[in-house]
Amino acid sequence: MKRSDRLTAEGVLFTDQYQLTMAQLYYRMGLHERRAQFDYFFRSYPDYGSHRAGYCIFAGLEWLLDWMQEAHFRDRDIEHLRNQTGRTGRPLFDEGFLAWLRANGTFDGITMRAIPEGRVVHPNVPLAVVQGPLATAQILETPLLNHLNYPTLIATKAARIRDAGRGRLLLEFGLRRAQERGASAGARAALIGGADFTSNVGISHVLGYPPKGTHAHSMVEVFMALGEGELGAFRAYAEVYPDDCLLLVDTINTLESGIPNAIRVFEELRRKGHKPVGIRLDSGDLAHLSIQAARMLDDAGFPDTIIVLSNQLDELVIWQIITQIENEAPRYGVDPDRLIHRLVYGVGTRLITSQGASALDGVYKLTAVEDSGEWVPAIKISETPEKTLNPGNKLVWRLYDRRGKATADLLGLEDEDPRTMERILLHHPTEHTTYRILQRDEISEIEPLHVDLLDRGRPVYTLPSIEEIRQQRRADLKRLDPGVKRLINPHVYHVSLTERLWNLKQELIAATREERPRSRAPASVG
Amino acid sequence: MKRSDRLTAEGVLFTDQYQLTMAQLYYRMGLHERRAQFDYFFRSYPDYGSHRAGYCIFAGLEWLLDWMQEAHFRDRDIEHLRNQTGRTGRPLFDEGFLAWLRANGTFDGITMRAIPEGRVVHPNVPLAVVQGPLATAQILETPLLNHLNYPTLIATKAARIRDAGRGRLLLEFGLRRAQERGASAGARAALIGGADFTSNVGISHVLGYPPKGTHAHSMVEVFMALGEGELGAFRAYAEVYPDDCLLLVDTINTLESGIPNAIRVFEELRRKGHKPVGIRLDSGDLAHLSIQAARMLDDAGFPDTIIVLSNQLDELVIWQIITQIENEAPRYGVDPDRLIHRLVYGVGTRLITSQGASALDGVYKLTAVEDSGEWVPAIKISETPEKTLNPGNKLVWRLYDRRGKATADLLGLEDEDPRTMERILLHHPTEHTTYRILQRDEISEIEPLHVDLLDRGRPVYTLPSIEEIRQQRRADLKRLDPGVKRLINPHVYHVSLTERLWNLKQELIAATREERPRSRAPASVG
């Protein structure tokens, strides 16, 4: 796509058609400027088939806000809409609506609060709460979901991969297999969730991280085709990058050619006073080869060189590699812990596409609408009880137990504050008879999770740097029960409702079934 | 990301770091302007777990060419590289290389031929062949893979879903679950591979298609919260869109509320002289509900209304729905064929993320490099024979049998033309003893698949419109054996080597193993 077309494709029209047809309907019915509230939440953790997540890492907010600030209906966008016709050939959008859109089609009327990026988050918890004029809050649905679902999916995968790698250096290598321009958001999310660096040069520069990478097989093949062989290629690399020499050793034969040639070049570098960095293994039995590589490098006097592993890695493959090293390394006189500590993981495809679970099921649901200056809670009932909405204007609290570990996320109504309660009833979101009661002294901390981001379009929050976001992620993961972090069959973390929210939900379900009028929420529209 | 940062993130630096470190190495070794050839191909069809593809639909070329034409090293990009440092703190890139990049860092030296978009393609066939200065052809690797892998993956999935839906109207609905900006490329690829339209407004406008969509649950919920109920919402929709009235009927209860209310509104529309369009089902047992909906709509005198199905659809789910309709519809007095013909599929997540196979394993491999004015073929040997490269400058031919069905893709050397051969030997790419011989009269047509796109940066090809690309896709699928199109366990389509290419490959494998000097290819560097 040409750059000029990107402004059209990915500006304010980066939304679904039905958002615009609904916005026009609200306009025609005089409802377009009524304030409405929508919750963004996901329904279930990513399920990778043989394993699944027990937590997610929230990401994507900053770029959503960037998009909201830049997107507005330009004359050109209005012209595009003006040319749309319905089945009879008449214009689909009328001039009154288009004039309103041109004058009011920005996100300046949106108030938003959200859980900050990098935080551990769970299903059915409102991660972002949007209040604004019904028409623009509706148009925002698709771009909001687009900007939050994918980054949260990738940050989560990165956190799992980092955990499997026992916190060793993790490099994001996925640009070539990413979903075209989605690569940028994917790399940022990976950096938030667990990757230390990315090979993607452009996004590294934008985010202020040095990009990482050394060389590919093709470099060795060039030298081979020109008759200089693998050793010639390695020597050329060492000559150009004497202090950054990391060699890919599997182009011909890892153990018989690649590692011996690398060691020869490392010895030459050492004689010239340089410290070689390490090797990269990109094929074969990575556990076995890394043991043999460690042995050969140790024997040659290079015990501090690193060993980068790549090739279709993910959390399970890394877990398997480490397990195999623990079993197999002692047999070759290699200390498994030392070897595990010199490993670096380069993870491409399976991180940036979240292989096994290629989408997060995040949704954006109407929870309340203004009527005569008051919020009327809205609900969507489903035949699957888990999919029935938690209605109204909700706040989210995280409860920590006496050990300081997070024990539950509690959704309550906006005028409730569990910090003032002597005993807290945590109601299961769908099971009538399932609840638990916590006494105040069983809880070491009650933390509100939402922060205010936008007040009618005006930013009221200083966005954290990626370093700060990562610190938050590390802190949250430390306060998460190890069982919840298990790669396979994790413990189910509790997300609960306060008693009042539970009661409101039941009342609304009954009213909907009987088509009774709704009760009003206590708070007036802000 | 702010728009200004996108120019940096997704301009010429939209590549992997090692491409730049290798480019500098080539510069320092005086190899950077040597002409080199790279092949783009994928190794295996997408494998979705319980099913896998037997063909792919190639897509992405036009936007790759757009990117190549716009990308160049701006002063700002050079400045970013200048600030990169190695481990000792010294600049990683030297001024000589940066000056060369600034002056020569465009893709104006690239010559490219490729198989056109929309064509059926198979593993190990060079889909694009790039020749150009080693340094720039190397930097191109990552952006080329990024622009071709994902669209080909999605066009393939769209073709399968369309096939499962027996060619009925297919709408792409995936923007909200797509990989951020990758949604644009995903929607275009879906349109190429099998979707008729997309809900994505921006990309529809850019590509010249009307975007599709009607309304969401939230519209019904607004009216419910305001006390007007589902019927009020439907009436409002019919009032605003009397000739485009398509109603989502599952917000409360599909059979007891949604469809009866829709029929009531359709009757009101009919009395006013309008023709209602149809309904959408988004939850529950879609086969059962569509049978009941058809019955109710028929009984009310609306047999021509369409029934749009959505909610986690993919090729298997659609196949299952159709199978169930065939079994179950007669029991309710509904003609299954008529019902199947009124169905429309809205497919979101599982199309735009290619659920089950989230990446295509496309690679870009060095196949030859210039030495003293001649091409020296390059090879990459792998311990997995299937991964050993087919070397040299290759052309691709498609052979059609007497029925006019494609029977094999044949890779030959550039000076071979199977159209002049009396008998054609098709050698298996890796099995020594497996080959077949076709007499010329067993073959109805021999078609060269590559077209020239760029001649040293100059476009030499008129890019087809998406309509033309779709016609090509339909024509290719018609000429594909039905067994190859099977959703599950498809026939394996033959990709073969000519005898001379097979012999060259064996010679190079032996030479690499023995580190012998390479034979020169016959042709001089163009």
**In this predicted structure, what is the pLDDT of residue B273?**
98
The residue in chain A having the minimum alpha-carbon distance to the alpha carbon of residue B217 is A380
Distance from CA of A474 to the nearest CA of B (A): 24
Contact A141 B216 (CB under 8 A): yes
Q: Identify how many contiguous H helices and E strands chain A contains and give both numbers.
A: 19, 21
pLDDT of residue A519: 54
What backbone phi and psi angles, to 5 degrees, belong to A447?
-115, 125
Distance of CA B56 to the CA centre of its chain: 7
Domain with CATH 3.20.140.10 in chain B: 3-154+361-514
What Å distances lie between residue B137 and A179, B35, B343, CA to CA?
22, 9, 47
- Transcribe A233-244 into DSSP letters: HHHHHHHH-TTS
- CB atoms B378 and A217 under 8 Å: no
Chain A CB contacts of B518 under 8 Å are 225, 227
* Chain A residues close to B512, C-beta within 8 Å: 224, 252
Asked if A359 lies within 8 A of B360 by C-beta distance, the reply is no
Closest chain A C-alpha to B141 CA, distance in angstroms? 8
pLDDT for the residue B516: 55
List, in order, residues 6 or more apart from B458 with CB less than 8 Å away. Answer: none
Least Cα separation, residue B410 to chain A (angstroms) = 25
Neighbours of A76 (CB within 10 A): 12
B252 and A17: CB-CB below 8 Å? no
* C-beta atoms surrounding B466 within 10 Å: 17
Whole-angstrom distance, CA of residue B446 vs CA of residue B124: 19
Per CATH, which fold does B156-352 belong to?
TIM Barrel (3.20.20)
CB pairs under 8 A between A and B: 377
Among the partner residues A9, A88, A151, nearest to B202 by beta-carbon distance: A9
Per-residue pLDDT of chain A (526 residues; tens, 9 = 90+): 999 899 999 999 999 999 999 999 999 999 999 999 999 999 999 999 999 999 999 999 999 999 999 999 999 999 999 999 999 999 999 999 999 999 999 999 999 999 999 999 999 999 999 999 999 999 999 999 999 999 999 999 999 999 999 999 999 999 999 999 999 999 999 999 999 999 999 999 999 999 999 899 999 999 999 999 999 999 999 999 999 999 999 999 999 999 999 999 999 999 999 999 999 999 999 999 999 999 999 999 999 999 999 999 999 999 999 999 999 999 999 999 999 999 999 999 999 999 999 999 999 999 999 998 889 988 877 777 788 889 899 999 999 999 999 999 999 999 999 999 999 999 999 888 899 999 999 999 999 999 999 999 999 999 999 999 999 999 999 999 999 999 999 999 999 999 999 999 999 888 877 765 555 554 555 4
Tokens describing residue A497: 């409702």
Query: CA of B203: which chain A residue's CA is closest?
Result: A9
What's the CA gap between A360 and A374, in Å, rounded? 33
Percent of chain A having pLDDT more than 70? 98
Contact status, residue B43 vs residue B365, Cβ threshold 8 Å:
no
Residue B526: per-residue pLDDT: 46
What is the C-alpha separation between A442 and A440, in angstroms, rounded?
A: 5
Quick one: closest CA in B to A257, which residue?
Answer: B513
Locate A415 and state its tokens: 């005028």
CA A509 to chain centre: 33
Q: How far is B159 from chain A (nearest CA, A)?
A: 18
Cβ contact, residue pair B9, A205, below 8 Å = yes
Task: Write down the CATH number for the domain with range B3-154+361-514.
Answer: 3.20.140.10
What is the spatial distance between Cα A316 and Cα B174, in angstroms, rounded to a whole number? 28
Tell me the shortest Cα–Cα distance from B186 to chain A, in angstroms: 8
Q: DSSP readout, A182-241? A: HHHHHHHHHHHHT-SEESBHHHHHHHT--------HHHHHHHHHTT-HHHHHHHHHHHH-
| Tokens 């959505």, located at residue | B310
Architecture of domain A213-344: Alpha-Beta Barrel (3.20)
Give me the residues of chain B with pLDDT under 50, please: 522, 526
For Cα atoms B512, B517, B522, give the angle at the middle one, nearest 5 degrees.
105
Q: Which residues contact B195 (CB under 8 A, 6 or more apart)?
A: B158, B162, B170, B171, B172, B187, B347, B351
Residue limits of CATH 3.20.140.10 in chain A:
33-71+106-155+357-514
CB atoms within 10 A of CB B467: 11
- Would the CB atoms of B240 and A24 count as touching at under 8 Å? yes
Give the gap in angstroms from C-alpha B183 to the nearest C-alpha of chain A. 8
Q: Of B22, B26, B371, which has the smallest distance from its Cβ to A216's Cβ?
A: B22
pLDDT score of B524 = 53
User: Which pLDDT does position B268 carry in this prediction?
Assistant: 98
* B146–A175 C-beta distance less than 8 A: yes
Please list the residue range(s) of chain A that carry CATH number 3.20.20.70. Answer: 213-344
- Contacts of residue A142 in chain B, CB cutoff 8 Å? 175-176
Residues of A in contact with B200 (CB under 8 A): 14-17
Q: Do B186 and A179 touch (CB under 8 A)?
A: yes
CA dihedral B463, B464, B470, B474 (to 10 degrees): -100
Q: How far is A88 from chain B (nearest CA, A)?
A: 7
Q: Can you tell me which residue has the tokens 């064509």?
A: B119
Class of domain A33-71+106-155+357-514: alpha beta
Quickly list DSSP for B359-387. ---EEEEEEEEEETTEEEE-----SSGGG
For residue A274, which residues of chain B lie inside 8 Å, CB to CB? none
Do residue B219 and residue A349 have CB atoms under 8 angstroms apart? no
Q: How far is B523 from B373, CA to CA, in rounded Å?
A: 9
**B284 → closest Cβ in A80, A186, A383:** A383
Cα-based distances in Å from B228 to B220, B233, B234, B332, B411:
9, 7, 10, 33, 67
> Going by DSSP bridges, is the β-strand pair A278-281/A246-248 parallel, antiparallel, or unpaired?
parallel
Q: Which residue of A has its CA nearest to B227?
A: A517
Sort strands B35-42 and A494-497 into parallel, antiparallel or unpaired.
unpaired
Q: Do A251 and B380 touch (CB under 8 A)?
A: yes
**Phi first, then psi: what are they for A224, rounded to 5°?**
-65, -45
Q: Is B16 helix (H, G, I), strand (E, B) or coil?
A: strand
Nearest CA in chain B to A48: B356
Closest Cα of chain B to A55: distance in Å?
Answer: 19
Kindly list the residues from chain A whose CB atom is less than 8 angstroms away from the CB atom of residue B463.
Answer: none
Q: Which of B502, B522, B523, B506 is nearest to B514 (CA)?
A: B506
- Residue B203: list chain A partners with CB under 8 A: 9
Residues 6+ apart with CB under 8 A from B47: B53, B356, B357
pTM: 0.97
> Mean pLDDT across chain B, nearest whole number?
95
Interface test with A, best of B17, B73, B180 (most A CBs within 10 A): B180
Q: Say if the Cβ atoms of A175 and B88 lie within 8 Å.
A: no
Pick among A176, A199, A255, A350 to test the B interface (most B CBs inside 10 A) = A176
Shortest Cα distance, chain B CAs vs residue A142, angstroms: 5
Interface contact flag, B173 A70, Cβ < 8 Å: no
* pLDDT for position A525: 55
Residue-wise pLDDT tens digits, A249-296: 999 999 999 999 999 999 999 999 999 999 999 999 999 999 999 999
Cβ A310 vs Cβ A281: under 8 Å: yes
* Chain region(s) in chain B for CATH 3.20.20.70: 156-352
Q: What residue in B sits closest to A354 (Cα-Cα)?
A: B358
The minimum CA-CA distance between A485 and chain B, rounded to whole Å, is: 24
The closest CB to that of A211, out of B17, B138, B226, belongs to: B17
- The two tokens of residue A327 are 């079993």
Task: Enumerate the residues of chain B whose CB falls inside 8 A of the CB of residue A32.
Answer: none
